[in-house]
Each structure stands twice: as C-alpha cells, then as structure tokens.
Amino acid sequence: MEIKRDILETFLRWRESPRRKPMLLLGARQIGKTWAVERFGKEHYKYFIKFDLDRSPEVIDAFRISKEPARIIKELQAYSDVPLLPGETLIFLDEIQESEEAFNSLKYFCEDAPQYHIIAAGSLLGVAVKRKNMKVPVGQVNRIDMYPATFREFLRMADPSTFEYVEGITSPEHLPTVIFNKLASEYRRYQICGGMPEAASLMLDGAGMAEIDATLQDILALDEVDFSKYAEPAEVTRIRAVWHSLPAQLSKENRKFIYKVIRTGARAKDYESALTWLADAGLVYQIFNVTKPGIPLSGYEDREAFKLYACDCGLLRRLAGVKADVIQNRNAGYTEFKGAMAENAVLQALLPQIGPDKPYYWTSEGRAEIEFLIDVAGEVIPVEVKAEGNTNGRSLSVYTQRFNPAKRIRISMNNLQFNDGLYSIPNPLADWALKFISLFSFFS
C-alpha cells in the first residue's frame, strides 16, 4: 500500500510561491525522497525529468561546461526526452552530491533563471557537503527537511474513518472509547514498523513480522555500508560504535548520552566527529539540554549535555532487538525502553510540526526533567512524555512552579483534555499537538 505523504503539500506550496527558489531536499536514506519528488512532478507538472548524477556521469559535464543557466538547460536538453520548459517541467537533480558544479548551479538558477522549477536531493547529502567542503548557497535555495512517515500519515491509510474523526476535532473533549482504542491499536503497530515507507507499507498490507523485520534489517545493513562508503576509514569504527550504543543509551532511566556506554574510557573528543556524521546523515537527532527556557533556546544550550534519538522508532526497535509482540502485548519487563520508544515517537511527531529548529530538553539538579521544550511563535512550551497513563511524576509540576508557563503539553496514554493551560494529549495524537494548541486556546 502506497502511503500518501504530507510533504507533497509542502512541495505544492513551494511550486505556487512567488518567491520560489531551487529546492534542496534533505533527509535520511530510504524515507521516500525520490518517490515523493517523482509523484509530485508527474501529478503537478506537464513534464517531469529526473537526472541521476550518480548513474549519468555524462550529465555532470553539462554543469562543467558553463555556469550560465541558459547554457546548462541547452546541454541538459540533449539528455531529456521531454522539453525543459519554465514552469511546465519539474527538473529533478538526484544524487546532486556527485557534482559540485551542479550543486553550485542552484545559486545561478536562483539569481538568473528563477522561472525554472528545480528540486535537488541526494544520498547522505549533509555528509557529502561537509566531506567535499561544498558551499551551500545559503539564501539561494529553499531547504526542505523530509522525515520518515508520521503516525498521522500511517493512520490515514490504516483507518480512514478514525483519521477523519481526529482531523475533525475542534474542542478538547474526551475521545469516545472506540476511537481511543482504535488509535492505541494502530499506534502500537506504527511503533513496531516505524515510518520507513517500505516497512510501514508492509504493515498496512498485512505482511508478517518476519518480512517487516527483514526489511528493517536490510535498511540497517545499508546504513552500515554507508558508514564504510561515505566516512573516513579512521571514523568508521567509531560511527558504528556510537550507532550501536543507541539502545543502551536510551535504556537508562536518565537518557543523557554517556560516552562510557560506548566503551570504558571513551572520551568526547574521540567520538564527537562520529556523532556529527550520524546527525548529518539524518540517522540520529541530537537534542541538547538548556539551562533555562529562555528565548532563544539556543542561547541557553549546554553543548556538554544531550540526548540522542534515532530517526525512526521502527529502526530503533530493530536495532535494539525488541520483538514486535513485546510492544503489542505491553510486556511487563519492557519498562525503561518503553519510555525511550515513546519519546522517540513523540520527537518524530514534533519535528515536522516545528520546522527546522530542533527541540531542547531541561533538567533540574536531578529532581526533574522535561523531555522536550519547543519554541512556538516565540513562546517556550514544555512537553512531558509518558509511555502509559501514569502521570504521577513531579517534573512538570517542578517546571511549572519555577517558570510559570502559560501553556504545557503532557503526552501520555490518557484521554484528550485541556485544563488551565495544560494540554493532555494521547500519544497517538502527538502529530496534532500544535494544531490543538491553536484550537484549544479559545477554551481557556
């Protein structure tokens, strides 16, 4: 089953924008970037052409010959079966990291030929740009970050009627039991398969867990190949060590990243570049601590304290070796890691909503921890995450007493509710969190 991706709506807004620039599409491997661009091109343009710079070295020569967009277009036309027309043809430069000249051409198309609609993407583009010391044409491209499929996208395909019910929520009333139970069931399935489109599609098609796990394992194996292919030889072992330490890092009650979990005696200076590589590859999200919830949050960032999450909860489950039935049946021994999985899934839900700026987290002398702080229109909102319905922890109360935020979010497996600035949102509805903040504020 093909999953409809919300990013297609982002692409459409880009197409219609009078300030449109060439798009630079970023994201981890296997999340469906090529599929999304091809679908968009075929649905919204008269013509679509994809130039794969990894498989067509002769096309790269077109960018070496000249920096003039008109000349480049004329050269590319020789390799295209469709006309390259302004506004009518979507030009997709895939694997653009293979040509620095092609990468730089985005600047000239922005300045001299904005009438051409161009999207550029590539495998491990963030890694390649740094490795080759390529200069990103800041201000001359529209950077779009793409993520694995969200639970919102999964639910739309899995249970359209429940999806439509959630989409229609306009007030903070308790969800009917039947709706809540359907959401909980589909959310457990999503935590098992995650948002990698191939694995999620298999789950939606009713495939067995052996096939879903094999697909996730294949993706993990390809990631390991990328370590060797795209990283410096001296870094490969360290990148692999950090990546494989992720389940152990997140299984701790305190999920702060600890270098000695990688190996005894490990030091920050030995592994910082490995962490950066994984983040640039889109495989992990590095969430930093802040000393206080001030604006901007980055101004209070503590670079020495951070948590590391996987780009996808399904990959994290498979990397950790957690069996599907442990999640499905809520095994009693599945405790700390259940909390980690809940946090990872909530982070995946928040990122597409809040834009390019990642959230932060806050701690108080070991007495309290708020999993995420997000900046919404200049207002810092704390987000507490619980895996189940037990909300007896003191963290949000400690934070509220100290900073008196006007809005707070608690994500747990309790029903939907809004009371005195506290938005209680069920885990499956984390994808709608910012929408609910906007809607429910009228009920204050």
Categorize the per-residue pLDDT at 439 as very low, low, confident or very high, splitting at 50, 70 and 90. confident
Task: Give the E-state strand segments of 168-300 in sequence order.
Answer: 284-290
pLDDT tens column, 413-427 = 999 999 989 999 999
Same domain for 156 and 123? no
Categorize the per-residue pLDDT at 389 as very low, low, confident or very high, splitting at 50, 70 and 90. confident
Same domain for 118 and 98? yes
Q: Is residue 2 part of a domain?
A: no
Residue 97 CA to its chain's centroid (Å): 21
Final residue belonging to a domain, choices 124, 145, 166: 145
Same domain for 248 and 360? yes
pLDDT for 442 beyond 70:
no
Bridge partners of residue 308, in order along the sequence: 286
Final residue belonging to a domain, choices 145, 177, 204: 145
Categorize the per-residue pLDDT at 133 as very low, low, confident or very high, splitting at 50, 70 and 90. confident
Torsional class of 231: left (φ above 0), alpha (ψ -120 to 50), beta (otherwise): beta
pLDDT for 444 beyond 60:
no
Q: Of the candidates 195, 35, 34, which has an alpha carbon nearest to the alpha carbon of residue 121? A: 34
Q: Is residue 1 part of a domain?
A: no
Bridge partners of residue 93, in order along the sequence: 51, 120
Please identify which residue in the block is written with the tokens 């069931």.
Answer: 185
Average pLDDT over residues 100-105: 93
Task: With H, G, I as helix, E, B as strand and everything else as coil, classify residue 370.
Answer: strand
Q: Tell me the CA end-to-end span of the chain in Å, nearest whole number.
A: 42
Q: What is the pTM of this model?
A: 0.94
Q: Is residue 386 part of a domain?
A: yes
Same domain for 126 and 182? no
Of 122-131, 282-291, 376-385, which range is least confident?
122-131
Q: Which residues contact 126 (CB under 8 A, 6 or more apart)?
A: 26, 279, 280, 281, 282
Q: What is the pLDDT of residue 76?
A: 96
Categorize the per-residue pLDDT at 142 as very low, low, confident or very high, splitting at 50, 70 and 90. very high
pLDDT for 129 beyond 90:
no
Same domain for 186 and 326? yes
pLDDT tens column, 104-118 = 999 999 999 999 999
Average pLDDT over residues 62-83: 94
Please identify which residue in the block is written with the tokens 């394992």.
Answer: 217
Q: Of the candidates 49, 48, 76, which has an alpha carbon nearest to the alpha carbon of residue 63? A: 76
Same domain for 287 and 417? yes
Same domain for 339 and 357? yes
Q: What residue numbers bound the domain in which 357 lies?
A: 151-443
Q: Is residue 283 part of a domain?
A: yes
Same domain for 97 and 157? no
pLDDT for 430 beyond 90:
yes
Same domain for 211 and 325? yes
Half-sphere exposure (Cβ direction) of 305: Cα atoms closer than 13 Å: 16
Single-letter amino acid, residue 410: R
Bridge partners of residue 143, in order along the sequence: 24
Categorize the per-residue pLDDT at 128 as very low, low, confident or very high, splitting at 50, 70 and 90. confident
Q: What's phi and psi for 77, nearest 5 deg? A: -60, -30
Average pLDDT over residues 150-163: 98
The token pair that represents 48 in the structure block: 């679509």
Measured in residues, the chain has a length of: 444
Q: Of the candidates 25, 1, 31, 2, which has an alpha carbon nearest to the alpha carbon of residue 222? A: 31
Categorize the per-residue pLDDT at 332 as very low, low, confident or very high, splitting at 50, 70 and 90. low
Same domain for 371 and 404? yes
Of 200-204, 207-211, 263-267, which range is least confident?
263-267
Average pLDDT, the chain: 93
Q: Which residues contact 369 (CB under 8 A, 6 or more apart)?
A: 254, 361, 362, 363, 395
pLDDT for 336 beyond 80:
no
Q: Provide the domain count of the chain.
A: 2
pLDDT for 45 beyond 90:
yes
Final residue belonging to a domain, choices 119, 145, 171: 145
Complete DSSP assignment for 109-150: HHHH-TTSEEEEE-TTHHHHHHHTTPPP-TTSSEEEE--SPP
Most confident range (mean pLDDT) of 62-71, 111-120, 261-270 is 111-120
Average pLDDT over residues 380-401: 91
Same domain for 53 and 175? no
Same domain for 333 and 407? yes
Bridge partners of residue 144, in order along the sequence: 25
Q: Is residue 97 part of a domain?
A: yes
Could you tell me the strand order of the sheet in which 117-121 lies?
47-52, 89-94, 117-121, 23-26, 142-145
